[in-house]
Structure 1
Amino acid sequence: MAYTARLHVSLPHALLPTLSRRSALPAVLRRLSRFSSTGRLLSNSSKFRPPTTLVYAQAKRGFSTKEDDVASSADLEFEAPLQIVEYPDPILRAKNKRIDSFDDNLKKLVQEMFDVMYKTDGIGLSAPQVGVNVQLMVFNPVGERGEGEEIVLVNPKVYRYSKKTILFNEGCLSFPRIYADVQRPESVKIDARDISGTRFMVNLSGLPARVFQHEFDHLQGVLFFDRMTDEVLDTIRPQLQALEKKYEDRTGLPSPERIENLRTRKKVAAGFGKS
């Protein structure tokens, strides 16, 4: 996600202290303008405003306990350096398996994901975006190696989401230089495990909630344009078609999906709100 001139909402209250000093404002905006994955997170969750109205998620879809839903060691294999997977690669739509092994291989994958995230000026990244179809996302609130706090979310679930929604201009590393407005719940309550397998639950609101939802969508095989209105989608349709042609030229294969067919495809909810 990136801030652009088309941002339709004021900055969340939790971010206002950062912007209160006039001398700090230009630097903050410069940093925000180059985030091309999901928006800037706030590292201290204790400062998040609790959501005013929460409702239970419609369904916790995609979290079966069947054996074939659990990632094997082969599912977690990867080759460094990792590369960003771009639309319309079918990897972005594939099923992402639950992680049960919190071992050194997982730690290596996490570190490699942080490496590619920093190199591409992102602050958030999901495993399918680097070709590994498992339920894993990483982020760093500051977006700079050695600064801020590196966060790992394994097997995340949406427990509740707010009725209040916000329109925000998003971008994605899997859609280079493409930005458009997406409506999402302002607050979410999530359940996840950390890199050691410890389970925890936390409320997110404002930008942190926005970042989580964008990456969580990736783990459900949902892409950000799936949540756009037809009017917004029309503004980026030529860019998406260019990515489809790029895929065909690179692979020699027909594009696995075409944006002109999106109007006839039923959009898929990702376990919260409505798409």
Structure 2
Amino acid sequence: MAGVSWLHPSSSLTQTLLSTLCRRFTLPVVLRRFSPPPSTGRLFSSTNLDRHSLTPVKAMAKIGFSVKEDEVASPTDFQFEAPLKIVEYPDQLLRAKNKRISSFDDNLKKLVDEMFDVMYKTDGIGLSAPQVGINVQLMVFNPVGERGEGEEIVLINPRVTKYSKKQTLFNEGCLSFPGINADVVRPESVKIDARDINGARFGFSLSGLPARVFQHEFDHLQGILFFERMTEEVVESIRAQLQALEKKYEEKTGSQSPERIETRKRKKVASGFGKS
């Protein structure tokens, strides 16, 4: 893909990204173009994070995620046909285990290019690999949502090492839930450990809009869907839309929906990342 900028914390573009966001976004929809929440004015920043210094494994355990060693992806896990298509709820590919990436080759770069392509074509600003039917730990996003503008961010095998106690409420949407938008509470800032497109490991902090987009995509890598972050009252407000997606799935596949919102049991998910 022409013009791809593999993100690194030292990039000079990070100093102007959020000011660009403030000029461009008008719709209140996360993962589509929207007005960003208050931020420090920088993509990467020193934030008011939880001050406990933890390794990625201990931090993940603290906030409720599994810390078992992830299965490593094989070459067959990366097989795909272009153009990629968005996987919609309630397809169980959104719930499947996502494997750790250990091979940083041209096939991975091709997948990243194709993910950015479908993200832009569907008017998104973030996308995880399971959302295109590939169950590996990979996400891409560009908070500006325009090819050739802002930063194209690629995170592989990401882990959360810290998160802010301060939380914010915002109206989110998701490419896997077309037409559905609802309020979600999430930490305002997070500190992340990840690998880049070449396999180099690095850590950094995100706040404001980039932090929210990251958390939404990170949930996808954990098999968590955004309505599980909503209060029961908010879920009730979108229940009919979720049921419509379930019916659409049944009509398209000829199979029974693998999950139904009316029989959903309230379950605890990653307590440090918002209320379930």
Normalised TM-score (structure 2): 0.82
Counterpart of 2:207, as a letter, is S
Aligned to 1:4: none
Aligned to 1:65: 69
Aligned to 1:98: 100
Counterpart of 2:87, as a letter, is V
Whole-Å separation in 2 of the counterparts to 1:70 and 1:271: 26
Could you tell me whether the CA contact under 8 Å between 1:162 and 1:185 is conserved in 2? yes
Aligned to 1:193: 195
- Residue 145 (structure 1) shift: 1.2
Matching residue within 133, 136, 139 for 2:138: 136
Residue 240 of structure 1: SS of its match in structure 2? helix
* Runs of 5+ consecutive residues of structure 1 not aligned to the other structure: 1-13
- Residue 64 (structure 1) shift: 3.5
Inter-CA distance 257–54: structure 2 relative to 1 (3 Å threshold): farther
Deviations 1:221-247 (A, max 9, x none): 000000110000000000000000000
Aligned to 2:229: 227
Aligned to 1:10: none
Whole-Å separation in 1 of the counterparts to 2:110 and 2:165: 38
Aligned to 1:158: 160
Could you tell me whether the CA contact under 8 Å between 2:49 and 2:163 is conserved in 1? no
Inter-CA distance 60–227: structure 2 relative to 1 (3 Å threshold): closer
Whole-Å separation in 2 of the counterparts to 1:181 and 1:258: 20
Counterpart of 2:65, as a letter, is R
Counterpart of 1:152, as a letter, is V
Inter-CA distance 152–224: structure 2 relative to 1 (3 Å threshold): same
- Residue 50 (structure 1) shift: 1.3
Q: How does 1:1-275 map to 2 (within 5 A)?
A: 18=19, 28-30=24-26, 32-33=27-28, 36-37=31-32, 44-46=42-44, 48=45, 50-51=47-48, 53-54=50-51, 57=59, 58-59=62-63, 61-65=65-69, 69-262=71-264, 264-269=265-270, 272=273, 274-275=275-276
Aligned to 2:3: none
Residue 73 of structure 2: SS of its match in structure 1? coil
Deviations 1:92-136 (A, max 9, x none): 000000000000000000000000000011111000000000000
- Residue 18 (structure 1) shift: 3.4
Could you tell me whether the CA contact under 8 Å between 1:83 and 1:116 is conserved in 2? yes
Could you tell me whether the CA contact under 8 Å between 1:37 and 1:125 is conserved in 2? no
Instruction: Using the aligned pairs only, state the percent identity.
Output: 67
Whole-Å separation in 2 of the counterparts to 1:35 and 1:216: 14
- Residue 141 (structure 1) shift: 2.8
Inter-CA distance 89–237: structure 2 relative to 1 (3 Å threshold): same
* Runs of 5+ consecutive residues of structure 2 not aligned to the other structure: 1-14
Aligned to 2:5: none
Deviations 1:122-171 (A, max 9, x none): 11100000000000000113211122221100000010111111111100
Counterpart of 1:110, as a letter, is V
Residue 212 of structure 2: SS of its match in structure 1? helix
Counterpart of 1:268, as a letter, is V
Residue 116 of structure 1: SS of its match in structure 2? helix
Could you tell me whether the CA contact under 8 Å between 1:38 and 1:124 is conserved in 2? no
Whole-Å separation in 2 of the counterparts to 1:36 and 1:151: 14
Counterpart of 1:61, as a letter, is F
Deviations 1:5-46 (A, max 9, x none): xxxxxxxxx99x839xxxx97x6343x457644866999534
